[in-house]
Structure 1
Amino acid sequence: MTFSIVGRDPRTGDVGVAVASKFLAVGALVPFVRGGVGAVATQSFVNPTFGPVGLDRLAQGHAPAQVRAQFEAEDAGIVQRQFGLVDASGRSATFTGPGCHAWAGGVAAENVAIQGNILTGPEVVDAMLAAWEAEVGAALPWRLLRALQAGDAAGGDRRGRQSAALLCAGPGRGYGGLTDDWVNLRADDHADPCGELERLLGVFDLLFGRPETTREFTVEELGWLRRTLVKQGYAPALPDGPWEPATEAAAWALYGTENLEERWVPGGQVDPVALAYLRRQFGT
């Protein structure tokens, strides 16, 4: 009833899971990640304990293949289960029990494990692997999403679509750099859940992405910003001329209202992505 991809970015050590299903809120049960440890997808008559237990065992140094063997030995319902694991060093494993509904199967390679059940056929897994390999160099959330979308386009869950989720973690990737938890997006009940995930990930990148480049405001841009800050009520009036503390305080308040704190740059510098968004929001 589900197809998923578990992956690791070898450049950064980030780990994540993308999953879709004809099932309500699949993100509540299938994906588990832990920065610096690994990622797990557990599905098909899902045993949700495989997530935290699997991550604990990976953290203790067990290889994914060992964890797979332990689950096979310990779980009385293993014939109906399916899961995939990747650890922080890129080792992977996938498992499909013989009691999973057809078509069911998966593939594991360095840094990735892909699995699915009640699929239209093996072409779903094949398409996901091809997309994963084609997106080398992309940020992990987008690479996982493109693979998930490829599986969906190849047929996906043969019963239809309902939900999808994307969960990623990486060292210092979380909000303000204070946690490893990074992307956590879900489309719990949607006609096009993979498409909705793409929209949400675009919004996420805007609001929580960090500046890749910065520069000084031009004279025209600074004039526009000050007029906007006054018009929107962030200051009663602002002076002309170079950047100064009153403009900085008002601009910081605007960024807070728009949830752009991660893209804030002090001292009269600006992230062009944030500026483009603000000009769309408030007019040029």
Structure 2
Amino acid sequence: MTFSVVGFDSGSGSWGVAVASKFLAVGAVVPGGGAGAGAVATQAMAELSFGPDGLDLLAEGNSAEQVIAQLTGRDDEREHRQVGMVDSEGRGATFTGGSCMEWAGGMAGDGFAVQGNILVGPEVVAAMAEAWERRDGDPLERRLLAALTAGDQAGGDRRGRQSAALRVWREGAAYGGVLDIAIDLRVDDHPTPVDELARLLDLHDLYFGKPDPASLLPLEGPLAAEVAGLLEKLGYTMNDALETWASVENYEERLVPGKIDPVVLRQLRQAASTSP
């Protein structure tokens, strides 16, 4: 009833899962992960303990293949289970029990595992694996989304569409730099959940993406005057007007003292253009 991709990016030290299903709030069931340990997708007749138990085993240094063997080896219902995993070194592994509803199967390789059940056919996981490989070099979240989108476009869950989710773990990557969850997006009930997930990821990049240092513009001269005028039109006239407006609009992660991110400038211009 579900198709998913589990992935690892060595450059950023990130692990993640993207999943879609004809199932309410699939993001509450399938994905699990932890920075420095790995990531897990548990599905079909999902055994939810595979998430935390698998991560504990991964954190001990076991490979994804070893962990799946341990989890399924002690599970009397393993023939009804499906699980995909990447370990701390990015080694991928996948398992599909023989009693999972057709079509069911998966593929795994260096840095990823894709799997699904109750699919239209094997072309779904094949399309996901191809998209993952083709997007090599992209940020992990974009590779995961590309693979999920490819599976959706290939037919996905043969029962239809309902929910999707994307989660990425990276050390200290949460808002405020304390926790390890870099991205946690869920579409719990929607007619086109993968498309909606893509929209949410674009918003996440807008609000929480880090500005490119090479693109920053000095906030001085005519540009400073323009920014002050735009802020005044929006009702912000205090000394810290830009910081106040950015905090209200959730762009504070993109603020840089003495400069302005072109992304923020574009949003400011757009907001002022539509202000009465």
Measured against the shorter chain, the TM-score band is over 0.9
What SS does the corresponding residue of 2:18 show, helix, strand or coil? strand
State yes or no: 1:59 paired with 2:63: no
Gaps of 5+ in 1: 237-245
CA deviation map 1:134-157 (0-9, x unaligned): 001110001100000000001100
Once the two structures are superposed, what CA deviation does each residue of 1:211-233 show, in whole Å capped at 9, x if it has no partner?
Answer: 11322035333222212333333
Deviation by residue 1:57-76 (Cα, 9 ceiling, x = unmatched): 10011111111111122112
TM-score normalized with structure 2 length? 0.95
Residue aligning to 2:136: 136
Give the aligned residue type for 1:18. Answer: A
Q: Which residue of 2 aligns with 1:22?
A: 22
- Which residue number corresponds to residue 244 of structure 2? 253
1:118-146 CA-partner distances (Å, limit 9, x unpaired)? 00000000000000000011100011000
Give 1:178 shift. 2.6
Q: Distance in 1 between matches of 2:5 and 2:48?
A: 17
TM-score by length of 1: 0.92
The equivalences for 1:133-282 within 5 A come to 133-213=133-213, 214-217=216-219, 219-235=221-237, 246=239, 249-266=240-257, 268-282=258-272
Kindly provide the amino acid, as one letter, of the partner of residue 202 in structure 1.
D
Supply the distance in 1 between the matched residues of 2:40 and 2:115 (Cα, whole angstroms): 11
In the alignment, is the contact (CA less than 8 A) between 1:86 and 1:92 conserved in 2? yes
SS of equivalent to 1:98: coil
- 2:43 equivalent to 1:49: no
Structure 1: distance between partners of 2:176 and 2:212:
15
Comparing 122-131 with 163-172, greater Cα deviation is found at 163-172
* Contact preservation (8 Å) 2:233, 2:272: no
What pairs up with 1:62-81 in 2 under 5 angstroms? 62-81=62-81
Count matched residues.
Answer: 272
Tell me which amino acid in the other structure corresponds to 2:252.
E
8 Å Cα contact 1:176/1:262 also seen in 2:
no
Counterpart in 2 of 1:240?
Answer: none
**Aligned counterpart, 1:122:** 122
SS in 2 for 1:114: strand
3-state SS in 1 of match to 2:133? helix
**1:166-212 CA distances to partner (integer Å, 9 max, x unpaired)?**
00011232213332210100111011101001100000000000111
What is the identity percentage for the equivalent residue pairs of Structure 1 and Structure 2? Answer: 52
Whether the 8 Å contact between 2:234 and 2:272 is mirrored in structure 1 is no
1:174/1:182 contact within 8 Å kept: yes
CA-atom RMSD in angstroms: 1.3
Distance 1:179 1:275 in 2: 29
How far apart, in 1, do the equivalents of 2:233 and 2:268 lie? 14
For 2:227 and 2:220, locate their aligned partners in 1 and report how far apart those are by CA, in whole Å: 10
Partner of 1:32: 32
SS of 2:173's equivalent in the other structure is coil
Q: Which runs of 5+ in 2 are unaligned?
A: none
In 1: Cα distance, 2:267 partner to 2:168 partner: 25
